[in-house]
Amino acid sequence: MTGKHQSNPLLSSYQALCSETEQQAPSAYTQLLSHSRDQLMQAFEQGEDIQTLLHQYSDLIDKLLHDHWEKFSGLAEHALIAVGGYGRRELHPASDIDLLILLASEPDDQCQEQLSSFLTFLWDIGLDIGHSVRTMDECLQAAKDDLTVITNLIESRHLAGARSLFKKIQAGICPDKMWNSQTFFTAKLEEQQHRYEKFGETAHRVEPNLKEGRGGLRDIHMVSWIIEREYGHLSLFEIYEHRLLQQDEYDTLRKGREFLWRIRFILHNITGRKEDRLLFDYQHTLAQHFGYRDLNRNDAVEAFMQRYYTTVTEVERLTDVLLGV
C-alpha cells in the first residue's frame, strides 16, 4: 500500500488520522470523508484525470473498510468483497458502496454481532452501504438464478478476510459452470431492451439519464461485461490491447466514458447525493463546469447538451455495432 499512499493524498490524510490515536470517534471519519470529497473536487477543477480521482476515492474506501474489518476477530474466516461500481473502482462522491459479505459457514451469535457492529460503523460515518450477506452455497445459487448477481460477481474484488473464499466464488461462477458467454449475452441484450423501455427509446431526451439511458455508462459496461464473460477480466485498455477493439472504437468508448464520468462527478457534488439525471435545474451549472461561461444561459445549456447528445449518440452507435444489434 505504500506506493498508493505516496500518490494518493486521500490515503495520506487517512493515515494521518489513524496515527493520531488508535481509536477514533465515527465523527472523525465523517469529517475525513467530507474533506476527501472536497479534495477530489478541487483536484477535478484543477484538471486531474477523472479515472485517477475515481480510483483514489475507491482506494480510500478500500483501506478504511479493510482496516475496520480487521478489528473483528470473528470475521477473519469470512470475506468482504467489493461488487458493482465499487468493484470496478468507479466510486463517485455519492456512489453506493456495494458489498458482498461471503460467509464460510452459517454465522454464530458472535459473528452476527460483529457484522452488525461493522455495518453500523459504516452507516454512522455516512457511507451509503448496499450489502448482501450470503454463504457460498447461497451466493452460487443466487448467481445462477439472477443476472444482476452474476454481473456483480464478474467485476468483484477482494477487500478483506479470507481470500480463499473469494477465489472459490470466482471459480464457482466461471462460464463452464453457469451463464456461458452466449446465454449471458442473450440475457444482457434482453435486459438492455427493458432498460431502454424504462429510460427512453432515444438518447435525445430533454432530461436524460447518463447511466441508464441510450449511449450511457450502462451501454459501455455492456461491452466490457460481454467481452469479459468470453475472454476473462479485461480493462477497456486491455480489450483494445487484445485487438478486440479497433483504435477508433477504443477512443470513442474511452472518451465517451470519461465525459460521462465527469458529468456524473459534478452532479454528485452539486446535488450532494447519487444523481444520474441531467435535470433542467442542473444543466446550466454543468455547462459552466464544462467551459460554457461566455454564453448566455440558454446558449450555454444548448451547447453543453449538444455535446452530450453527440457523445451518447456515438457511443450508442458503436455499442450497437459491437454487440451486433
pLDDT in tens, 131-184: 999 999 999 999 999 999 999 999 999 999 999 999 999 999 999 999 999 999
The whole-number pLDDT of residue 2 equals: 41
Tell me, yes or no, whether 15 and 164 share the same domain.
yes
The whole-number pLDDT of residue 1 equals: 43
The whole-number pLDDT of residue 293 equals: 85
Q: Which of 243, 185, 250, 253 lies closest to 215, judged by CA?
A: 253
Which domain covers residue 68, as residue numbers? 2-172
> Can you name the residues that pair with 81 across neighbouring β-strands?
100, 158
The whole-number pLDDT of residue 167 equals: 97
C-alpha cell at 115: 457484522
The whole-number pLDDT of residue 104 equals: 96
Q: Which of 82, 60, 75 lies closest to 105, judged by CA?
A: 75
The whole-number pLDDT of residue 242 equals: 85
Tell me, yes or no, whether 146 and 193 share the same domain.
no
pLDDT tens digits for range 128-138: 999 999 999 99
C-alpha cell at 86: 465499487
Helix (H), strand (E) at residue 81: strand 79-82
Tell me, yes or no, whether 201 and 146 share the same domain.
no
Phi and psi at residue 244, to the nearest 5°? -85, -10
- The Cα-based distances of 134 to 54, 69, 138, 160 in angstroms read 28, 17, 6, 16
Tell me, yes or no, whether 9 and 155 share the same domain.
yes
The whole-number pLDDT of residue 77 equals: 96
Tell me, yes or no, whether 83 and 167 share the same domain.
yes
Q: Which of 279, 271, 257, 264 lies closest to 205, judged by CA?
A: 279
Tell me, yes or no, whether 166 and 198 share the same domain.
no
Tell me, yes or no, whether 164 and 246 share the same domain.
no
Tell me, yes or no, whether 155 and 260 share the same domain.
no
pTM of the model: 0.93
3-state secondary structure (DSSP) of residue 92: coil
Here the contacts of 285-294 (C-beta below 8 Å, separation 24 or greater) are 290/262
Q: Which of 28, 45, 224 lies closest to 125, judged by CA?
A: 28
Domain count, the chain: 2
Tell me, yes or no, whether 155 and 112 share the same domain.
yes
Handedness of CA 282, 283, 288, 289 (dihedral sign): positive
The whole-number pLDDT of residue 203 equals: 65
Q: Which of 195, 245, 241 lies closest to 217, judged by CA?
A: 195
Q: Which residues of the chain have pLDDT under 50?
A: 1-5
Q: Return the number of other C-beta atoms located less than 10 Å from residue 97's C-beta.
A: 20
The whole-number pLDDT of residue 243 equals: 87
Rounded to the nearest angstrom, the gap between the alpha carbon of residue 262 and the centroid of all alpha carbons in its chain is 14
Tell me, yes or no, whether 19 and 168 share the same domain.
yes
Tell me, yes or no, whether 190 and 48 share the same domain.
no
SS (H, E, C) 147-207: HHHHHHHHCCEEEEECHHHHHHHHHHCCCCCCCCHHHHHHHHHHHHHHHHHHHCCCCCCCC
Tell me, yes or no, whether 10 and 136 share the same domain.
yes
